[in-house]
Amino acid sequence: MAALIEIERLTKRFGAFTAVDDVSFAVDRGEVVGFLGPNGAGKSTTMKMLAGFVTPTSGTARICGDDVVDRPVAAKRHLGYLPEGAPTYPEMTVTAFLGFVASIRGYRGSEATDRVAHAMGLTQLEGVRLQPIETLSKGFKRRVGLAQSLLHDPPVLVLDEPTDGLDPNQKHEVRELIRKMAPEKAIVISTHILEEVDAVCTRAIIIARGKVLADSTPKALEAPGRTLEQVFRDLTMPTPEAA
Ligand SMILES: Nc1ncnc2c1ncn2[C@@H]1O[C@H](COP(=O)(O)OP(=O)(O)OP(=O)(O)O)[C@@H](O)[C@H]1O
């Protein structure tokens, strides 16, 4: 069976600058891929192309077999996407925003209400359900973003720094949630927290200057006797000649 995420030779250029350079990888059900790289490596741009927010310059991306450019609506149906930053519509309450997302996803009546309640439960948002999103702390805003990505229980999740801004307890909760969902889904998370990779990821892809430099299990990358941080630095620190 084909992988749930299939990326082939994906490239994005902004003018003369190549942000994502010939990136290929596939993600199967049950895998949690940690997408790592220094600032500006091309992680968010790759995720935005998967989510259909940025059009690739060349190459292809498919979600559950649907090409994100040729079949954008079908591809988005299979996908939960957490973008960087906070959700839009800051003046909406949490319940109203998630209700709006449920209606866009095609749910009506009690099914919509149940979906919203379930997503709020997974992300522990019940206590702030009637608060406008703009009045929430950074961590709560992040969880609203996560809740909208999970609402339709998609088989593929693309989460751009899901634990950014969360306190240690919430980080733990979100990692547990990702671990719990993992067997049923293909998940890609970008992160700067290397312990997170050890904690939740079955595989790590390291990218720098738009190119994939490593793609392996965290264990294999670390062996023998190296930490993931050392591997990350060795691969991504600019050499004096390149600088
Ligand atoms: N719309 C755009 N126009 C021009 N350049 C862009 C645009 N979007 C991204 N870039 C550039 O592409 C490069 C990759 O950016 P991207 O946001 O994908 O990196 P990242 O790996 O997610 O970084 P970070 O870890 O800082 O979030 C950066 O140099 C960025 O400035």
CA–centroid distance, 39 to ligand 1, in Å, is 8
CA–centroid distance, 42 to ligand 1, in Å, is 6
CA 224, CA 178: separation in Å to the nearest integer?
28
**48 CA closest ligand 1 atom index:** 18
CA–centroid distance, 115 to ligand 1, in Å, is 33
* Average pLDDT of the residues in 175-198: 93
DSSP category for residue 184 = G
Tens digits of residue pLDDT in 129-172: 999 999 999 889 999 999 999 999 999 999 999 998 889 998 99
Is the C-beta atom of 14 inside 6 A of ligand 1?
yes
For atom 26 of ligand 1, which residue has the closest CA? Answer: 39
Instruction: Determine whether 100 is exposed, middle or buried from the number of CB atoms within 10 Å of its CB (0-12, 13-18, 19+).
Output: middle
Lookup result for tokens 């671990």: 179
Tens digits of residue pLDDT in 57-106: 999 999 999 999 999 999 999 999 999 887 788 999 999 999 999 999 99
DSSP category for residue 81 = E
Residue type at 84? E
C-beta of residue 84 within 8 angstroms of C-beta of residue 141? no
The yes-or-no answer to whether 1-28+46-77 and 87-202 have a common fold is: yes
Please tell me the pTM assigned to this model.
Answer: 0.94
**What sign results for the dihedral spanned by CA atoms 119, 124, 127, 133?**
negative
Q: What is the CATH number of domain 87-202?
A: 3.40.50.300
Is the C-beta atom of 41 inside 6 A of ligand 1?
yes
Is the C-beta atom of 12 inside 6 A of ligand 1?
no
Outline where DSSP puts E strands in the chain.
Answer: 5-14, 17-27, 32-36, 58-63, 66-67, 79-82, 156-160, 186-190, 203-208, 211-216
Is the C-beta atom of 45 inside 6 A of ligand 1?
yes
CA–centroid distance, 110 to ligand 1, in Å, is 41
CATH number (3.10.129.10, 3.40.50.2000, 3.40.50.720, 3.40.50.300) of 1-28+46-77 reads 3.40.50.300
DSSP structure string for 156-198: EEEEESTTTT--HHHHHHHHHHHHHHGGGSEEEEE-S-HHHHH
What residue segments make up the domains of the chain, in order of their start?
A: 1-28+46-77, 87-202, 204-243
Q: Of the given ranges (9-13, 108-112, 118-122, 173-177), which has the lowest mean pLDDT?
A: 173-177
Predicted confidence at residue 6, as pLDDT, reads 97
Strand partners of residue 8: 60
Predicted confidence at residue 241, as pLDDT, reads 60
Strand partners of residue 186: 156
CA–centroid distance, 46 to ligand 1, in Å, is 9
